[in-house]
Amino acid sequence: MDHWSESEGKRVHDPIFQPRISQNCRQPVEEFCRERSKGAAVTRFERCTWVPGPIIVGAGPSGLAVAACLKEKGVDSLILERSNCIASLWQLKTYDRLSLHLPRQFCELPLMPFPADYPIYPSKEKFVAYLEKYAARFGICPSYNHAVVCAEYDEKLLLWRVRSQLTGKMEEEVEHISRWLVVATGENAEVVQPEIDGLKEFKGTVVHTSAYKTGRAFAGKRVLVVGCGNSGMEVCLDLCDHNAQPHIVVRDTVSDFLLLLLSLLF
Ligand SMILES: Cc1cc2nc3c(=O)[nH]c(=O)nc-3n(C[C@H](O)[C@H](O)[C@H](O)COP(=O)(O)OP(=O)(O)OC[C@H]3O[C@@H](n4cnc5c(N)ncnc54)[C@H](O)[C@@H]3O)c2cc1C
């Protein structure tokens, strides 16, 4: 698709370019929200709110960056985040020894560089501290504990209807209505654990890397690490540092470079 037809395609779905929509649409939408909330109060616990700016799903680095860039242009947004903090992947689902895998110049967010004294590969604590400062600097206050369960474009209203559930309260739902929706839910936010033959019969501990913190509990044990990506390699190193005996299993061929690395590690 060439550049022009791509942007044309996007315009077709963007309410701002629809001839039928105008600034006056706010009035009927607010009425719609009021009506929905009234009915919902009787049947189930559901509120309906009009969001004047874009809705952003996810308060990871991408969601924060989008919110900051919008703020810089004078546009307020609403971030819906299912966990209780920003950068939940980094804060809650990574191992203790983690530092950025890429040099810092590839990881900083727009409009605010890393502090000059940060190392080339900042630790996750430093990265999270930078993100906290970033959010504070741009006045970003996500709505935490809101897991988005559905986002639909309403052809009649010409608006996005985004439903979120309050964490741990399945029956409490809020419907947010806005002209714009940005999905920033990440590529690593969901655990992917393949079906492995015999795994159910295995009596030992099985841990996904998102729940692995340190190799301390594995001292003296033989551990099979499945997967030879960045995390698999680093977990192996961590296990070695904690006197465990890791073995790594790789689905595909391993490049000479990785073999060299492995031979240096073990
Ligand atoms: C071990 C490890 C090391 C990495 N190292 C680097 C690195 O050095 N450099 C780099 O650039 N990248 C690295 N990454 C990749 C990582 O994906 C990015 O750093 C970054 O976290 C991506 O940001 P994101 O905002 O797109 O997604 P995420 O950080 O995954 O954030 C997505 C957010 O969306 C929320 N969310 C998801 N679904 C919903 C929903 N339905 N409703 C509401 N909220 C929702 C999640 O809770 C989460 O907070 C690494 C990843 C891992 C796992």
Statement to judge: residues 34 and 120 lie in one domain: yes
Statement to judge: residues 130 and 232 lie in one domain: no
> Structure tokens of 221?
């044990």
Q: What is the 3-state secondary structure (H, E, C) of the chain?
A: CCHHHHHHHHHHHCHHHCCCCCHHHHHHHHHHHHHHHHHHHHHCCEEEEECCCCEEECCCHHHHHHHHHHHHCCCCCEEECCCCCCCHHHHHCCCCCCECCCCHHHCCCCCCCCCCCCCCCCEHHHHHHHHHHHHHHCCCCCECCEEEEEEEEECCCCEEEEEEEECCEEEEEEEEEECCEEECCCCCCCCCCCCCCCHHHCCCCCCCHHHCCCCHHHCCCEEEEECCCHHHHHHHHHHHHCCCEEEEECCCCCCHHHHHHHHHHC
Which residues of the chain carry a pLDDT beneath 70?
A: 1-28, 30, 37-45, 170, 254-266
CA-nearest of 153, 113, 172, 148 to 18 is 153
Statement to judge: residues 33 and 110 lie in one domain: yes
pLDDT on residue 43: 46
Domain edge (last residue) among 163, 183, 203: 183
Statement to judge: residues 197 and 151 lie in one domain: no
Statement to judge: residues 138 and 50 lie in one domain: yes
pLDDT on residue 158: 96
Residue ranges making up the domain that contains 16 = 3-183
User: If you measure from the C-alpha of residue 42 to the centroid of ligand 1, how many angstroms do you get, rounded to a whole number?
Assistant: 38
Statement to judge: residues 21 and 112 lie in one domain: yes
Statement to judge: residues 222 and 178 lie in one domain: no
Statement to judge: residues 168 and 259 lie in one domain: no
Mutation choice for ligand 1 from 127, 185, 210, CB with most ligand atoms inside 8 A: 185
Statement to judge: residues 118 and 171 lie in one domain: yes
pLDDT on residue 1: 45
pLDDT on residue 42: 47
> Structure tokens of 30?
């607010």
pLDDT on residue 167: 83
Look up the pTM and report it: 0.85
Looking at ligand 1, which residue's alpha carbon is closest to its atom 37? 185
By the 8 A CB rule, do 229 and 240 touch? no
Statement to judge: residues 131 and 236 lie in one domain: no
Split into its structural domains, the chain has a count of: 2
Q: Which atom of ligand 1 is nearest to the CA of 189?
A: 30
pLDDT on residue 33: 72
Domain containing 142 — which CATH number? 3.50.50.60
Domain edge (last residue) among 159, 183, 207: 183
Statement to judge: residues 46 and 28 lie in one domain: yes
Statement to judge: residues 209 and 121 lie in one domain: no
User: If you measure from the C-alpha of residue 90 to the centroid of ligand 1, how many angstroms do you get, rounded to a whole number?
Assistant: 7
pLDDT on residue 173: 93
Domain edge (last residue) among 183, 213, 240: 183
Mutation choice for ligand 1 from 99, 106, 149, 188, CB with most ligand atoms inside 8 A: 188
Q: Which amino acid is at 232?
A: G
> Structure tokens of 177?
């209505």
pLDDT on residue 186: 95
